[in-house]
Structure 1
Amino acid sequence: MTQIRQRAVVFADLRGSTALFENLGNAEATSVVTHTIGLMRQSIEACGGRVVKTLGDGLMAVFEYPSDALSAAVAMHDALGQLVEQGRQRGASPGLRSLRLQVAMSFGEVVDMAGDCFGDAVNVAARLLDHAGDNETLVTAEFHAELAPAERTRFRSLDGIKVRGRVEPVHVHVLDAPVRDTDGAATQFGDAAFSPPAPDGIRLTWLDNERVFDIEQLPIVLGRSTEAAFCITDARVSRSHARIDWHAGSYTLTDLSFNGSYVRFGTSGEVLPLRRNSCTLHGSGSIGLGSSPAELDAPVVRFEVLHFADTLPHLR
């Protein structure tokens, strides 16, 4: 029987399983992934949701109420965090410690047919997952509007993001939550020790393409897609490779790719690898998309965080 209902749609994807199979072998890695997906299913069902189907290393679920879907997303992140922490304490392999979870959620009309779900809300949530960073939860404006006022304050707006298959940008919000970083790389090289005054803009340069963005134009998606805010037409670059947004008074770069992004501050500083995680951009430097900026032929975007007096001569 076909039914049309208003539903919250959830897509969740487990990242890092490839490294898990390399480190543990097929049998043990399959057991870990199956156990983790089981924990995700338990979180969804405990919050009143229905798992529609599993998708490789992830799943799709629907909820009647977005508040319940939000509770499930938080529970899934917590469950994975506890699993990774237990693995770290027991000396588990780096593959297990590198597992990450991405969640994307939308709200709207859903066609429920033969146990599967279809419709625009399903398509948007599935494609929005491509824009989520490690341990990140993204939701559409429609989903956000259905939450209670106290729940809405837990999010920050990323404004419009170009989503594959949609003509108009999708207004997206990201859940503010502690990000578990097993290696501490981003903190070591970028975030914790640096507290600059709030910048007014950021200049990005790739070959002869130079643009200055202010905070009203964020988020900035860097990628090969012609719909990306800053397009890099290099085959080694993913369609949506990385995202720059504004958080706590700073520009933050989040890697969205399978090949990683690499940040070097200054011209000869140490290279910070990002694998589905984030770091704060400050000063100037370079971003290698898919390979280190130290490699001569790497697709590299130069960045410079600007203050008002610096941006005036460069505005177009």
Structure 2
Amino acid sequence: MSDTSQLQAIMFADVSGSSALYKRVGNLEAKSLIDETIGTMRALTEANNGIVVKTIGDEVMARFDHPEAACSAAIAMQQGSQDGNGLAIRIGLAYGATLLVDGDVFGDTVNDAACVAHIARARQTVVTQAIVDELPPSLRDACQEFDRIPIKGEGQISLIYRLQWELPDQTYSATRVMALQELSGDNPASQRLTLAHSDGELQLTPQETPFVIGRDPRRVDLFINTSLASRDHCHIDFRRGKFVLVDHSTNGTYVTTPGHEPIYLRREEVPLQGEGSIGIGGQTDKPSTEVIRFRLS
């Protein structure tokens, strides 16, 4: 037996919603789709100089010598899942001391990676502070504060981040809209979402998504000047003919529509329907909350 102590970036990546997939499409097709996704994740791990430690059902555990390689692999996996069979994956990354024993890996860093992987939702990559601290500026800038949590084994609250992987260019948006047109007989390009804020009113088209809302003016499409907002608070996406509000903030987002109870989102998403209000970090009827009014047409 050979035991080696080594700094490693640990990744847990798994297929989100696999249980529901088996029920929806049946055992054979579900297993085939999941196996295809696992194979892609394995190939992208190796392409980024990583080592697959093991696969457990619909999950891949991998290790990398450096956080930069682990983040590059995670971004490639998320982008690949978007372009491939469409199965969503969630990823957690941590960096620190590990114990390598006969091809397996142990230690607090493994536990930390597993912890943040369980926090991540579909199509999200969540990373620890130790990962961010080791990244070059280009990748560090892609990491947005996500939450403050007590990571297992630590007595203090730790800051964790969401690694942005979405392609910002028009090619990505156009490709996504084309896919939606193929799925639906409607022409999504004709749809509009009107957003009204204290700074004015704008109309959003499917081609202009993802549309980011938050308090970091360098990164967002709509700047919200309130301490209740996260730097990258939420974004509006367009999927399967619908505008979808996706929250990834610390304080959450409220959505209210006439005749319905307010919906509270925290690391969740909801389709926008009809007209209503979006409360950034608080309920829409509170004077301290920045409110965005929306209307679909």
- TM-score bin (small chain): 0.5 to 0.7
Q: Is the 8 A contact 1:106 1:122 kept in 2?
A: yes
Structure 2: runs of 5+ lacking an equivalent: 168-175, 200-212, 216-224, 236-244, 291-297
Q: Distance in 1 between matches of 2:23 and 2:111?
A: 32
Matched, 1:121 2:141: no
Distance change >3 Å, CA 200–CA 23, structure 1 → 2: closer
Which of 79, 95, 101 does residue 107 from structure 1 map onto? 95
1:200–1:70: structure 2 CA closer, same or farther, 3 Å change rule? closer
Which residue of structure 2 aligns with residue 266 of structure 1? 257
In the other structure, the counterpart of 2:220 is: none
Q: Does structure 2 retain, via aligned residues, the 8 Å contact 1:266–1:284? A: no
**1:113-167 Cα distance to aligned partner (Å, 9 max, x none):** 1211111111111011121122111111111111111211112122522335543
Q: CA RMSD in A?
A: 4.3
Partners of 2:11 and 2:71 lie apart in 1 by 9
Distance 1:305 1:69, change over 3 A: farther
Give the Cα separation in 2 of the matches to 1:20 and 1:309: 38
How far residue 267 of structure 1 moved from its aligned partner, in angstroms, is: 4.8
* Residues 52 and 252 of structure 1, relative CA distance in 2, 3 Å threshold: same
- Any conservation in 2 of the 1:105–1:139 contact (CA below 8 Å)? yes
Please name the residue that 2:18 is paired with: 17
* Aligned 8 A contact 1:73 1:137 in 2: yes
| Amino acid of the structure 1 residue aligned with 2:127 | V
Is 1:246 the counterpart of 2:241? The answer is no
Once residues 215 and 4 of structure 1 are traced to their aligned partners in structure 2, the CA distance between those partners, rounded to angstroms, is 45
CA distance in 2, matches of 1:68, 1:44: 9
Q: 1:74-124 deviations in whole A, cap 9, x for unaligned?
A: 11112211213xxxxxxxxxxxx5x21111111100111121111111111
Runs (5+) with no aligned partner, structure 1: 85-96, 202-213, 220-243, 256-261, 286-301, 311-316
Task: Say if 1:103 and 1:160 are closer, same or farther in 2 by CA, change over 3 A.
Answer: same
Taking only the aligned residue pairs, the percentage that are identical comes to 29
* AA matched with 1:40: M
Aligned residues: 234
**1:1-316 correspondence to structure 2 within 5 Å:** 1-84=2-85, 97=86, 99-178=87-166, 193-194=194-195, 196-197=197-198, 246-247=233-234, 253-254=247-248, 265-269=256-260, 277-278=268-269, 283=277, 303-304=283-284, 306=286, 308=288
